[in-house]
Protein backbone atom coordinates (compact mmCIF):
# COMPACT_ATOMS: atom_id res chain seq x y z
CA UNK A 1 0.00 0.00 0.00
CA UNK A 2 1.25 3.46 -0.81
CA UNK A 3 1.78 5.32 2.41
CA UNK A 4 1.82 9.08 2.19
CA UNK A 5 3.72 11.12 4.70
CA UNK A 6 2.34 14.57 5.22
CA UNK A 7 5.03 17.09 5.61
CA UNK A 8 3.86 20.39 6.92
CA UNK A 9 4.29 21.77 3.45
CA UNK A 10 2.20 19.25 1.60
CA UNK A 11 -0.58 19.64 4.13
CA UNK A 12 -0.55 23.42 3.87
CA UNK A 13 -0.36 23.29 0.08
CA UNK A 14 -3.22 20.84 -0.17
CA UNK A 15 -5.41 22.91 2.08
CA UNK A 16 -4.58 26.11 0.22
CA UNK A 17 -5.28 24.43 -3.10
CA UNK A 18 -8.61 23.24 -1.84
CA UNK A 19 -9.79 26.33 -0.09
CA UNK A 20 -12.34 27.01 -2.82
CA UNK A 21 -13.72 23.58 -2.27
CA UNK A 22 -13.82 24.04 1.45
CA UNK A 23 -15.68 27.29 1.19
CA UNK A 24 -18.23 25.98 -1.26
CA UNK A 25 -18.67 23.04 0.88
CA UNK A 26 -19.23 25.11 3.96
CA UNK A 27 -21.81 27.24 2.21
CA UNK A 28 -23.85 24.13 1.50
CA UNK A 29 -27.18 23.10 2.97
CA UNK A 30 -25.85 22.50 6.45
CA UNK A 31 -24.43 25.98 6.99
CA UNK A 32 -27.36 26.94 9.22
CA UNK A 33 -26.46 24.32 11.75
CA UNK A 34 -23.76 24.19 14.38
CA UNK A 35 -20.67 22.57 12.98
CA UNK A 36 -19.22 19.15 13.67
CA UNK A 37 -16.10 19.59 15.82
CA UNK A 38 -12.89 17.89 14.77
CA UNK A 39 -9.18 18.46 15.28
CA UNK A 40 -8.59 21.16 12.66
CA UNK A 41 -5.08 19.92 11.92
CA UNK A 42 -5.92 16.27 12.01
CA UNK A 43 -5.31 12.79 13.32
CA UNK A 44 -2.26 10.61 13.01
CA UNK A 45 -2.59 7.32 11.18
CA UNK A 46 -3.44 4.40 13.47
CA UNK A 47 -4.57 6.53 16.39
CA UNK A 48 -8.04 7.04 17.87
CA UNK A 49 -10.11 9.43 15.74
CA UNK A 50 -13.21 10.99 17.16
CA UNK A 51 -15.23 14.01 16.07
CA UNK A 52 -18.12 15.54 17.98
CA UNK A 53 -21.52 16.05 16.37
CA UNK A 54 -23.99 18.59 17.81
CA UNK A 55 -27.30 17.15 18.98
CA UNK A 56 -29.14 18.33 15.88
CA UNK A 57 -26.95 16.05 13.77
CA UNK A 58 -27.98 12.62 12.60
CA UNK A 59 -26.52 9.38 13.83
CA UNK A 60 -25.20 8.59 10.35
CA UNK A 61 -22.06 10.46 9.38
CA UNK A 62 -19.71 10.43 6.42
CA UNK A 63 -16.10 11.27 5.78
CA UNK A 64 -15.62 13.12 2.51
CA UNK A 65 -12.32 13.41 0.67
CA UNK A 66 -11.67 17.12 0.25
CA UNK A 67 -10.01 16.78 -3.13
CA UNK A 68 -12.37 14.36 -4.86
CA UNK A 69 -15.46 15.32 -2.80
CA UNK A 70 -16.22 11.58 -2.63
CA UNK A 71 -17.47 9.84 0.48
CA UNK A 72 -14.75 7.52 1.67
CA UNK A 73 -16.21 6.29 4.94
CA UNK A 74 -19.63 6.00 6.55
CA UNK A 75 -20.24 5.43 10.21
CA UNK A 76 -22.78 5.59 13.02
CA UNK A 77 -22.29 8.05 15.84
CA UNK A 78 -22.95 7.32 19.50
CA UNK A 79 -26.10 8.20 21.40
CA UNK A 80 -26.57 11.79 22.57
CA UNK A 81 -24.99 12.84 25.88
CA UNK A 82 -24.53 16.17 27.62
CA UNK A 83 -21.07 17.55 28.35
CA UNK A 84 -21.65 19.25 31.68
CA UNK A 85 -18.87 21.83 31.20
CA UNK A 86 -20.36 23.34 28.06
CA UNK A 87 -23.99 22.37 28.71
CA UNK A 88 -24.18 21.11 25.15
CA UNK A 89 -25.55 17.77 23.99
CA UNK A 90 -23.47 15.85 21.51
CA UNK A 91 -22.74 12.55 19.79
CA UNK A 92 -19.30 11.12 19.21
CA UNK A 93 -18.37 10.02 15.70
CA UNK A 94 -15.63 7.44 16.03
CA UNK A 95 -13.70 6.70 12.85
CA UNK A 96 -10.57 5.27 14.47
CA UNK A 97 -10.52 2.37 12.00
CA UNK A 98 -10.20 4.73 9.02
CA UNK A 99 -6.49 5.03 8.29
CA UNK A 100 -6.24 6.23 4.72
CA UNK A 101 -3.90 9.22 4.55
CA UNK A 102 -5.50 12.31 3.04
CA UNK A 103 -7.46 15.49 3.71
CA UNK A 104 -11.12 15.21 4.62
CA UNK A 105 -14.11 16.73 6.30
CA UNK A 106 -16.96 15.13 8.20
CA UNK A 107 -20.59 15.62 7.37
CA UNK A 108 -24.01 14.47 8.51
CA UNK A 109 -27.60 15.64 8.22
CA UNK A 110 -28.58 18.38 10.65
CA UNK A 111 -25.05 19.60 11.40
CA UNK A 112 -22.58 21.89 9.64
CA UNK A 113 -19.58 20.21 8.03
CA UNK A 114 -16.44 20.01 10.11
CA UNK A 115 -13.42 22.07 9.16
CA UNK A 116 -11.05 20.03 7.02
CA UNK A 117 -8.46 17.84 8.71
CA UNK A 118 -5.63 15.57 7.64
CA UNK A 119 -4.99 11.94 8.41
CA UNK A 120 -1.34 10.99 8.12
CA UNK A 121 2.07 11.02 9.74
CA UNK A 122 4.02 14.22 10.29
CA UNK A 123 0.86 16.32 10.40
CA UNK A 124 1.99 18.15 13.56
CA UNK A 125 5.51 19.02 12.37
CA UNK A 126 4.61 22.55 11.34
CA UNK A 127 2.88 23.08 14.67
CA UNK A 128 5.94 21.76 16.53
CA UNK A 129 8.15 24.24 14.68
CA UNK A 130 5.90 27.26 15.09
CA UNK A 131 4.93 26.60 18.71
CA UNK A 132 8.65 26.61 19.55
CA UNK A 133 9.62 29.41 17.16
CA UNK A 134 7.10 31.62 18.98
CA UNK A 135 9.76 32.08 21.68
CA UNK A 136 12.16 33.63 19.20
CA UNK A 137 9.61 36.36 18.52
CA UNK A 138 9.35 37.00 22.26
CA UNK A 139 13.08 37.58 22.74
CA UNK A 140 13.88 40.55 24.92
CA UNK A 141 16.90 42.81 24.25
CA UNK A 142 17.32 41.48 20.70
CA UNK A 143 16.39 42.69 17.27
CA UNK A 144 14.06 40.33 15.42
CA UNK A 145 15.69 40.26 12.01
CA UNK A 146 13.69 39.92 8.77
CA UNK A 147 15.60 36.79 7.76
CA UNK A 148 14.25 35.01 10.85
CA UNK A 149 11.14 37.00 11.66
CA UNK A 150 9.82 37.91 8.19
CA UNK A 151 7.13 40.56 8.40
CA UNK A 152 7.27 40.44 12.20
CA UNK A 153 10.81 41.87 12.26
CA UNK A 154 11.22 44.56 14.90
CA UNK A 155 14.00 46.61 16.50
CA UNK A 156 15.78 45.51 19.65
CA UNK A 157 14.10 46.70 22.83
CA UNK A 158 14.47 46.51 26.60
CA UNK A 159 18.27 46.18 26.74
CA UNK A 160 17.88 45.52 30.48
CA UNK A 161 21.54 46.24 31.10
CA UNK A 162 20.74 48.97 33.60
CA UNK A 163 18.15 47.58 35.94
CA UNK A 164 17.45 49.20 39.30
CA UNK A 165 17.39 47.19 42.50
CA UNK A 166 13.94 47.85 43.94
CA UNK A 167 13.55 48.73 47.61
CA UNK A 168 12.00 45.29 48.20
CA UNK A 169 15.11 43.63 46.75
CA UNK A 170 17.74 45.62 48.59
CA UNK A 171 20.30 43.72 50.69
CA UNK A 172 23.56 44.47 52.50
CA UNK A 173 25.59 44.53 49.29
CA UNK A 174 23.11 45.48 46.60
CA UNK A 175 21.34 48.54 47.87
CA UNK A 176 18.10 50.14 46.75
CA UNK A 177 18.71 51.96 43.46
CA UNK A 178 21.92 50.08 42.61
CA UNK A 179 22.18 49.17 38.95
CA UNK A 180 22.56 45.59 37.74
CA UNK A 181 22.57 44.04 34.27
CA UNK A 182 19.97 41.42 33.41
CA UNK A 183 19.54 41.37 29.64
CA UNK A 184 17.94 38.79 27.38
CA UNK A 185 15.32 36.15 28.06
CA UNK A 186 11.75 36.12 26.81
CA UNK A 187 8.81 38.39 27.48
CA UNK A 188 6.48 36.48 29.76
CA UNK A 189 3.24 36.83 27.89
CA UNK A 190 1.22 39.68 26.43
CA UNK A 191 3.29 41.98 28.67
CA UNK A 192 7.01 42.80 28.46
CA UNK A 193 8.02 41.68 31.92
CA UNK A 194 10.13 38.73 33.01
CA UNK A 195 9.25 36.49 35.93
CA UNK A 196 11.41 33.74 37.44
CA UNK A 197 8.59 31.48 38.67
CA UNK A 198 6.94 31.34 35.28
CA UNK A 199 10.22 31.10 33.42
CA UNK A 200 11.11 28.06 35.48
CA UNK A 201 8.21 25.82 34.48
CA UNK A 202 8.52 27.04 30.89
CA UNK A 203 12.22 26.29 30.58
CA UNK A 204 11.78 22.99 32.42
CA UNK A 205 9.08 21.80 30.00
CA UNK A 206 11.26 22.59 27.00
CA UNK A 207 14.28 20.92 28.58
CA UNK A 208 12.07 17.93 29.31
CA UNK A 209 11.18 17.84 25.62
CA UNK A 210 14.87 17.89 24.72
CA UNK A 211 15.63 15.18 27.28
CA UNK A 212 12.97 12.81 25.99
CA UNK A 213 12.80 13.47 22.25
CA UNK A 214 16.36 14.43 21.18
CA UNK A 215 16.11 13.09 17.64
CA UNK A 216 12.93 14.94 16.81
CA UNK A 217 14.37 18.08 18.41
CA UNK A 218 17.44 17.82 16.22
CA UNK A 219 15.36 17.34 13.11
CA UNK A 220 13.31 20.53 13.37
CA UNK A 221 14.82 23.70 11.95
CA UNK A 222 13.40 26.78 13.63
CA UNK A 223 15.30 29.25 11.44
CA UNK A 224 16.68 31.29 14.31
CA UNK A 225 20.02 33.15 14.39
CA UNK A 226 21.72 30.10 15.98
CA UNK A 227 20.34 27.58 13.48
CA UNK A 228 23.72 27.01 11.87
CA UNK A 229 25.50 25.90 15.04
CA UNK A 230 25.77 22.27 16.16
CA UNK A 231 23.05 22.39 18.82
CA UNK A 232 19.38 21.56 18.24
CA UNK A 233 17.55 24.85 17.64
CA UNK A 234 15.15 24.18 20.49
CA UNK A 235 18.13 24.03 22.87
CA UNK A 236 19.56 27.28 21.50
CA UNK A 237 16.20 28.91 22.04
CA UNK A 238 15.70 27.69 25.59
CA UNK A 239 19.23 28.82 26.49
CA UNK A 240 18.12 32.37 25.70
CA UNK A 241 15.86 32.34 28.72
CA UNK A 242 18.02 30.14 30.91
CA UNK A 243 20.97 32.49 30.52
CA UNK A 244 18.77 35.38 31.50
CA UNK A 245 17.62 33.46 34.57
CA UNK A 246 21.24 33.12 35.71
CA UNK A 247 21.51 36.92 35.82
CA UNK A 248 18.63 37.02 38.30
CA UNK A 249 20.64 35.34 41.04
CA UNK A 250 22.34 37.61 43.54
CA UNK A 251 25.97 36.40 43.50
CA UNK A 252 26.41 37.56 47.08
CA UNK A 253 23.97 35.18 48.70
CA UNK A 254 22.46 32.86 46.04
CA UNK A 255 18.97 34.36 46.41
CA UNK A 256 16.94 34.91 43.26
CA UNK A 257 14.79 37.93 42.43
CA UNK A 258 11.15 37.08 41.86
CA UNK A 259 10.88 39.21 38.75
CA UNK A 260 12.27 41.94 36.53
CA UNK A 261 9.47 44.32 35.68
CA UNK A 262 8.35 47.90 35.32
CA UNK A 263 6.25 49.16 38.19
CA UNK A 264 3.05 48.77 36.20
CA UNK A 265 1.75 47.32 32.96
CA UNK A 266 2.21 49.62 29.99
CA UNK A 267 -0.21 50.23 27.13
CA UNK A 268 -0.60 48.19 23.95
CA UNK A 269 2.64 49.42 22.38
CA UNK A 270 5.55 47.77 20.59
CA UNK A 271 8.53 46.71 22.73
CA UNK A 272 10.84 49.47 21.45
CA UNK A 273 8.23 52.09 22.31
CA UNK A 274 8.32 51.15 25.98
CA UNK A 275 10.46 53.54 28.00
CA UNK A 276 9.33 52.55 31.49
CA UNK A 277 12.05 52.07 34.03
CA UNK A 278 12.58 48.43 35.05
CA UNK A 279 13.50 46.92 38.40
CA UNK A 280 14.40 43.62 39.99
CA UNK A 281 11.84 42.98 42.71
CA UNK A 282 12.15 41.05 46.00
CA UNK A 283 13.84 37.69 46.37
CA UNK A 284 11.40 34.90 47.17
CA UNK A 285 11.64 31.29 48.30
CA UNK A 286 9.59 30.16 45.32
CA UNK A 287 11.91 31.96 42.90
CA UNK A 288 14.99 30.36 44.52
CA UNK A 289 13.52 26.84 44.54
CA UNK A 290 12.11 26.99 41.02
CA UNK A 291 15.41 28.41 39.81
CA UNK A 292 17.33 25.63 41.61
CA UNK A 293 15.06 22.98 40.07
CA UNK A 294 15.41 24.22 36.53
CA UNK A 295 19.16 24.88 36.75
CA UNK A 296 19.64 21.37 38.13
CA UNK A 297 17.62 19.87 35.31
CA UNK A 298 19.47 21.95 32.72
CA UNK A 299 22.89 21.05 34.16
CA UNK A 300 21.96 17.38 33.74
CA UNK A 301 20.31 17.57 30.32
CA UNK A 302 23.08 19.58 28.66
CA UNK A 303 26.05 17.52 29.87
CA UNK A 304 26.16 15.79 26.51
CA UNK A 305 26.78 19.15 24.83
CA UNK A 306 29.85 19.94 26.93
CA UNK A 307 32.05 20.57 23.89
CA UNK A 308 29.57 23.09 22.41
CA UNK A 309 28.69 24.63 25.78
CA UNK A 310 31.91 24.42 27.78
CA UNK A 311 31.47 24.80 31.55
CA UNK A 312 27.82 25.82 31.29
CA UNK A 313 26.65 22.67 33.04
CA UNK A 314 29.03 23.36 35.88
CA UNK A 315 27.88 26.97 36.15
CA UNK A 316 24.27 25.81 36.29
CA UNK A 317 25.04 23.25 38.97
CA UNK A 318 26.73 25.87 41.15
CA UNK A 319 23.80 28.23 40.63
CA UNK A 320 21.34 25.49 41.60
CA UNK A 321 23.27 24.58 44.75
CA UNK A 322 23.56 28.16 45.98
CA UNK A 323 19.87 28.91 45.29
CA UNK A 324 18.92 25.72 47.15
CA UNK A 325 21.07 26.78 50.11
CA UNK A 326 19.47 30.22 50.14
CA UNK A 327 16.01 28.62 50.21
CA UNK A 328 17.03 26.41 53.15
CA UNK A 329 18.06 29.51 55.08
CA UNK A 330 15.00 31.45 53.93
CA UNK A 331 12.23 28.83 53.69
CA UNK A 332 9.28 31.17 54.09
CA UNK A 333 9.92 34.32 52.12
CA UNK A 334 6.58 34.21 50.40
CA UNK A 335 5.73 36.29 47.40
CA UNK A 336 2.11 36.53 48.44
CA UNK A 337 1.53 40.01 47.15
CA UNK A 338 3.35 42.72 45.27
CA UNK A 339 5.34 45.25 47.29
CA UNK A 340 3.64 48.62 47.49
CA UNK A 341 3.74 50.50 44.21
CA UNK A 342 4.41 47.40 42.10
CA UNK A 343 1.45 46.39 39.94
CA UNK A 344 2.76 43.81 37.47
CA UNK A 345 2.03 40.04 37.53
CA UNK A 346 2.38 38.57 41.00
CA UNK A 347 2.85 34.84 40.53
CA UNK A 348 1.87 34.79 44.18
CA UNK A 349 1.96 31.50 46.02
CA UNK A 350 1.28 30.65 49.62
CA UNK A 351 1.61 26.87 49.43
CA UNK A 352 5.23 26.34 48.63
CA UNK A 353 6.12 22.91 49.98
CA UNK A 354 5.62 21.48 46.49
CA UNK A 355 8.38 23.80 45.24
CA UNK A 356 10.69 22.17 47.78
CA UNK A 357 9.79 18.72 46.44
CA UNK A 358 10.49 19.78 42.86
CA UNK A 359 13.89 21.30 43.64
CA UNK A 360 14.87 18.40 45.93
CA UNK A 361 14.07 15.74 43.32
CA UNK A 362 16.01 17.60 40.62
CA UNK A 363 18.97 18.05 42.99
CA UNK A 364 19.02 14.31 43.79
CA UNK A 365 18.93 13.49 40.09
CA UNK A 366 21.78 15.88 39.39
CA UNK A 367 24.06 15.01 42.31
CA UNK A 368 22.99 11.52 43.37
CA UNK A 369 22.84 12.84 46.93
CA UNK A 370 19.69 11.68 48.74
CA UNK A 371 20.24 14.20 51.50
CA UNK A 372 18.40 16.79 49.48
CA UNK A 373 15.24 14.93 50.47
CA UNK A 374 16.11 14.91 54.16
CA UNK A 375 13.55 17.50 55.18
CA UNK A 376 10.87 16.51 52.68
CA UNK A 377 7.88 14.48 53.82
CA UNK A 378 5.14 12.74 51.89
CA UNK A 379 2.64 15.46 52.75
CA UNK A 380 4.81 18.01 50.92
CA UNK A 381 3.94 16.47 47.56
CA UNK A 382 1.06 17.85 45.53
CA UNK A 383 -0.19 15.28 43.04
CA UNK A 384 -1.70 17.80 40.68
CA UNK A 385 -1.49 18.66 37.01
CA UNK A 386 1.58 20.93 36.92
CA UNK A 387 1.27 24.67 36.71
CA UNK A 388 3.55 27.55 37.70
CA UNK A 389 2.32 27.22 41.29
CA UNK A 390 2.07 23.43 41.53
CA UNK A 391 5.36 21.82 40.70
CA UNK A 392 5.76 18.45 42.45
CA UNK A 393 4.81 16.51 39.35
CA UNK A 394 7.50 18.24 37.31
CA UNK A 395 10.11 16.77 39.64
CA UNK A 396 8.43 13.36 39.64
CA UNK A 397 8.23 13.40 35.84
CA UNK A 398 11.99 14.04 35.71
CA UNK A 399 12.51 11.01 37.93
CA UNK A 400 10.18 8.78 35.92
CA UNK A 401 11.81 9.75 32.63
CA UNK A 402 14.45 7.11 33.24
CA UNK A 403 13.73 3.82 35.08
CA UNK A 404 17.34 3.78 36.29
CA UNK A 405 16.58 6.80 38.44
CA UNK A 406 14.78 4.49 40.89
CA UNK A 407 18.17 3.51 42.28
CA UNK A 408 18.74 7.06 43.45
CA UNK A 409 15.85 6.98 45.93
CA UNK A 410 14.71 4.89 48.91
CA UNK A 411 12.39 2.28 47.50
CA UNK A 412 9.35 3.12 49.59
CA UNK A 413 9.68 6.84 48.89
CA UNK A 414 10.12 6.24 45.18
CA UNK A 415 7.03 4.02 45.15
CA UNK A 416 5.09 6.64 47.05
CA UNK A 417 5.61 9.41 44.54
CA UNK A 418 5.49 7.17 41.49
CA UNK A 419 2.16 5.67 42.65
CA UNK A 420 0.76 9.13 43.36
CA UNK A 421 1.73 10.26 39.88
CA UNK A 422 0.18 7.24 38.16
CA UNK A 423 -2.97 7.65 40.25
CA UNK A 424 -3.20 11.22 38.98
CA UNK A 425 -2.85 9.94 35.41
CA UNK A 426 -5.55 7.33 36.07
CA UNK A 427 -7.95 10.03 37.22
CA UNK A 428 -7.33 12.07 34.08
CA UNK A 429 -7.77 8.95 31.94
CA UNK A 430 -11.07 8.17 33.64
CA UNK A 431 -12.30 11.70 32.95
CA UNK A 432 -11.45 11.19 29.29
CA UNK A 433 -13.26 7.88 29.12
CA UNK A 434 -16.37 9.32 30.78
CA UNK A 435 -16.40 12.55 28.81
CA UNK A 436 -19.23 13.23 26.39
CA UNK A 437 -16.76 15.45 24.52
CA UNK A 438 -13.93 12.91 24.54
CA UNK A 439 -11.73 15.30 26.49
CA UNK A 440 -10.01 14.79 29.84
CA UNK A 441 -10.48 18.44 30.78
CA UNK A 442 -12.77 19.02 33.77
CA UNK A 443 -11.64 22.34 35.20
CA UNK A 444 -11.30 25.72 33.63
CA UNK A 445 -9.03 28.10 35.53
CA UNK A 446 -7.19 31.06 33.98
CA UNK A 447 -5.13 29.45 31.21
CA UNK A 448 -7.27 26.28 31.01
CA UNK A 449 -5.77 25.37 27.63
CA UNK A 450 -2.48 24.86 29.43
CA UNK A 451 -4.23 22.53 31.86
CA UNK A 452 -5.22 20.43 28.86
CA UNK A 453 -1.63 20.47 27.61
CA UNK A 454 -0.18 19.75 31.04
CA UNK A 455 -2.58 16.86 31.54
CA UNK A 456 -0.87 15.64 28.40
CA UNK A 457 2.50 15.78 30.18
CA UNK A 458 1.17 13.62 33.01
CA UNK A 459 -0.41 11.15 30.58
CA UNK A 460 2.60 10.90 28.28
CA UNK A 461 4.89 10.33 31.27
CA UNK A 462 2.50 7.67 32.58
CA UNK A 463 2.58 6.04 29.15
CA UNK A 464 6.38 6.17 29.01
CA UNK A 465 6.49 4.62 32.49
CA UNK A 466 3.90 1.86 32.09
CA UNK A 467 3.56 1.27 28.34
CA UNK A 468 -0.23 1.54 28.66
CA UNK A 469 -1.35 3.09 25.34
CA UNK A 470 -4.64 4.28 26.86
CA UNK A 471 -2.68 7.12 28.49
CA UNK A 472 -1.35 8.09 25.09
CA UNK A 473 -4.82 8.13 23.61
CA UNK A 474 -6.01 10.45 26.39
CA UNK A 475 -2.97 12.72 25.84
CA UNK A 476 -3.87 12.88 22.17
CA UNK A 477 -7.41 13.79 23.18
CA UNK A 478 -6.03 16.79 25.09
CA UNK A 479 -4.28 17.93 21.92
CA UNK A 480 -7.40 17.34 19.81
CA UNK A 481 -9.34 19.53 22.25
CA UNK A 482 -6.80 22.33 21.85
CA UNK A 483 -6.78 22.03 18.07
CA UNK A 484 -10.51 22.22 17.52
CA UNK A 485 -12.47 19.39 19.09
CA UNK A 486 -14.05 21.73 21.58
CA UNK A 487 -17.49 23.32 21.88
CA UNK A 488 -16.17 26.75 20.92
CA UNK A 489 -15.00 25.31 17.62
CA UNK A 490 -11.70 27.20 17.78
CA UNK A 491 -8.25 25.98 17.08
CA UNK A 492 -6.69 27.65 20.13
CA UNK A 493 -3.29 28.03 18.43
CA UNK A 494 -2.76 31.12 16.28
CA UNK A 495 -2.22 30.45 12.59
CA UNK A 496 -3.54 26.88 12.57
CA UNK A 497 -6.80 25.25 11.56
CA UNK A 498 -9.97 26.38 9.82
CA UNK A 499 -10.92 28.70 12.68
CA UNK A 500 -7.82 29.80 14.55
CA UNK A 501 -7.90 32.32 17.39
CA UNK A 502 -6.74 35.67 16.07
CA UNK A 503 -7.22 38.52 18.51
CA UNK A 504 -4.94 37.38 21.31
CA UNK A 505 -4.15 39.67 24.22
CA UNK A 506 -0.58 40.49 23.32
CA UNK A 507 1.01 43.90 23.01
CA UNK A 508 3.05 43.00 19.93
CA UNK A 509 0.05 41.48 18.16
CA UNK A 510 -2.08 44.54 18.82
CA UNK A 511 0.59 47.16 18.06
CA UNK A 512 2.49 45.77 15.08
CA UNK A 513 -0.08 46.83 12.49
CA UNK A 514 -0.14 43.35 10.96
CA UNK A 515 -3.49 41.61 10.78
CA UNK A 516 -2.42 38.06 11.44
CA UNK A 517 -0.77 37.24 14.75
CA UNK A 518 2.53 35.33 14.76
CA UNK A 519 1.58 31.66 14.29
CA UNK A 520 2.11 29.11 17.04
CA UNK A 521 0.80 30.84 20.15
CA UNK A 522 -1.58 28.96 22.44
CA UNK A 523 -4.13 31.30 24.01
CA UNK A 524 -5.27 30.92 27.62
CA UNK A 525 -8.71 29.59 26.72
CA UNK A 526 -12.04 29.37 28.52
CA UNK A 527 -11.99 30.49 32.15
CA UNK A 528 -14.93 29.76 34.43
CA UNK A 529 -14.52 33.13 36.19
CA UNK A 530 -13.47 35.19 33.20
CA UNK A 531 -14.26 38.86 33.49
CA UNK A 532 -13.16 42.27 34.64
CA UNK A 533 -11.57 42.84 31.25
CA UNK A 534 -14.28 43.29 28.59
CA UNK A 535 -17.93 44.17 29.26
CA UNK A 536 -19.40 41.13 30.96
CA UNK A 537 -22.22 40.89 28.45
CA UNK A 538 -19.67 39.86 25.82
CA UNK A 539 -19.19 36.58 27.63
CA UNK A 540 -22.35 35.00 26.34
CA UNK A 541 -22.27 31.83 28.38
CA UNK A 542 -21.71 30.97 32.01
CA UNK A 543 -20.80 27.36 31.22
CA UNK A 544 -17.09 27.08 32.16
CA UNK A 545 -15.94 25.59 28.85
CA UNK A 546 -17.77 28.32 26.92
CA UNK A 547 -16.57 31.38 28.82
CA UNK A 548 -14.05 32.59 26.28
CA UNK A 549 -13.68 35.48 23.90
CA UNK A 550 -11.35 35.89 20.93
CA UNK A 551 -10.82 39.56 21.74
CA UNK A 552 -7.63 41.56 22.33
CA UNK A 553 -8.97 42.92 25.59
CA UNK A 554 -10.00 39.61 27.08
CA UNK A 555 -6.82 39.08 29.03
CA UNK A 556 -8.47 36.57 31.34
CA UNK A 557 -9.16 34.19 28.43
CA UNK A 558 -7.11 35.23 25.44
CA UNK A 559 -3.61 36.11 26.55
CA UNK A 560 -0.57 34.15 25.43
CA UNK A 561 2.15 33.04 27.86
CA UNK A 562 5.49 31.22 27.82
CA UNK A 563 4.29 28.59 30.29
CA UNK A 564 1.24 27.78 28.18
CA UNK A 565 3.25 27.38 25.00
CA UNK A 566 5.85 25.21 26.73
CA UNK A 567 3.13 22.75 27.72
CA UNK A 568 1.96 22.69 24.11
CA UNK A 569 5.52 22.23 22.86
CA UNK A 570 6.06 19.22 25.10
CA UNK A 571 2.79 17.60 24.09
CA UNK A 572 3.26 18.11 20.36
CA UNK A 573 6.85 16.87 20.39
CA UNK A 574 5.84 13.90 22.52
CA UNK A 575 3.04 12.90 20.15
CA UNK A 576 4.93 13.58 16.90
Distance CA 537, CA 489 (A): 20
- For residues 292 and 324, is the Cβ–Cβ distance under 8 A? yes
**Minimum distance from residue 210 beta carbon to ligand 9MR (Å):** 24
- Closer to ligand 9MR by Cβ: residue 571 or 575: 571
Strand order across the 50-54 sheet = 50-54, 88-94, 81-83
- Closer to ligand 9MR by Cβ: residue 189 or 262: 189
Q: What is the dihedral of CA 496, 501, 505, 509, to 10 degrees?
A: 50
Residue nearest ligand 9MR, Cβ-based: 345
Distance CA 383, CA 363 (A): 19
- For residues 246 and 311, is the Cβ–Cβ distance under 8 A? no
Could you give the angle at the alpha carbon of 558 between the alpha carbons of 552 and 563, nearest 5°? 130
Q: What is the dihedral of CA 422, 427, 432, 436, to 10 degrees?
A: 170
Among the listed residues 327, 346, 242, 253, the one whose alpha carbon sits nearest the alpha carbon of residue 286: 327
* Residue 559 annotated among the catalytic residues of the structure: yes
**Minimum distance from residue 248 beta carbon to ligand 9MR (Å):** 16
**Minimum distance from residue 347 beta carbon to ligand 9MR (Å):** 6
- Quote the DSSP letter at residue 493: B
- Quote the DSSP letter at residue 438: S
- Closer to ligand 9MR by Cβ: residue 125 or 188: 188
- Residues with Cβ within 8 Å of residue 128, at least 6 apart in sequence: 216, 220, 569, 572, 573, 576
Distance CA 505, CA 526 (A): 14
- Of 113, 205, 236, 559, the active-site residue reads 559
**Minimum distance from residue 274 beta carbon to ligand 9MR (Å):** 15
- Closer to ligand 9MR by Cβ: residue 364 or 562: 562
CA atoms within 13 A on the CB side of 14: 21
Distance CA 253, CA 426 (A): 43
- Of 191, 211, 290, 349, the active-site residue reads 191
- For residues 25 and 63, is the Cβ–Cβ distance under 8 A? no
Distance CA 194, CA 40 (A): 33
- Closer to ligand 9MR by Cβ: residue 211 or 533: 533
* Residue 505 annotated among the catalytic residues of the structure: yes
- Closer to ligand 9MR by Cβ: residue 324 or 555: 555
**Minimum distance from residue 540 beta carbon to ligand 9MR (Å):** 22
**Minimum distance from residue 559 beta carbon to ligand 9MR (Å):** 4
* Residue 340 annotated among the catalytic residues of the structure: no
- Closer to ligand 9MR by Cβ: residue 347 or 381: 347
CB contact burial 415-432 (16+ within 10 A = b; e otherwise) = eebbebbbebbebbbebb
Among the listed residues 232, 41, 207, 132, the one whose alpha carbon sits nearest the alpha carbon of residue 520: 132
Sign of the dihedral defined by the CA atoms of residues 570, 460, 316, 172, in that order: positive
H or E element that contains 75:
strand 71-76
Residues that bind ligand 9MR (CB under 6 A): 188-189, 191, 345-347, 446-447, 559, 561
**Minimum distance from residue 335 beta carbon to ligand 9MR (Å):** 11
Distance CA 347, CA 282 (A): 12
- Closer to ligand 9MR by Cβ: residue 210 or 561: 561
- Of 55, 178, 276, 550, the active-site residue reads 550
- Of 158, 258, 505, 576, the active-site residue reads 505
**Minimum distance from residue 354 beta carbon to ligand 9MR (Å):** 15
What residues are annotated to the active site?
A: 191, 505, 550, 559
Amino acid sequence: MLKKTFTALTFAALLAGCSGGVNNNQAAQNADFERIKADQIGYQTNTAKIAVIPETGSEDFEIVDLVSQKTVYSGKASEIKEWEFSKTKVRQADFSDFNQDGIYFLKCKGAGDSYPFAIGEGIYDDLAIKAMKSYYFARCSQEIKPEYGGKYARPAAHPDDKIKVHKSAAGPKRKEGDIISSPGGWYDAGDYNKYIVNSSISVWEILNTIELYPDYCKKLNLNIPESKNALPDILDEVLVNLRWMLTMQDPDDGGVYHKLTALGFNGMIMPHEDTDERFVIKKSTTAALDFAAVCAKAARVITKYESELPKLSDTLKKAAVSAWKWAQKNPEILYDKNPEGVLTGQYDDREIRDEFTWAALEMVLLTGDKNYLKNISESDFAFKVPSWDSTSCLGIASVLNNPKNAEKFDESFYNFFKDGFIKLADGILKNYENSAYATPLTFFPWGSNSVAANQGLILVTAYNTTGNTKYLEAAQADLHYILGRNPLDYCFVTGFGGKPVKYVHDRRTVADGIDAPVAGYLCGGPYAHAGGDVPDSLYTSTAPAMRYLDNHNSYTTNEIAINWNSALVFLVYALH
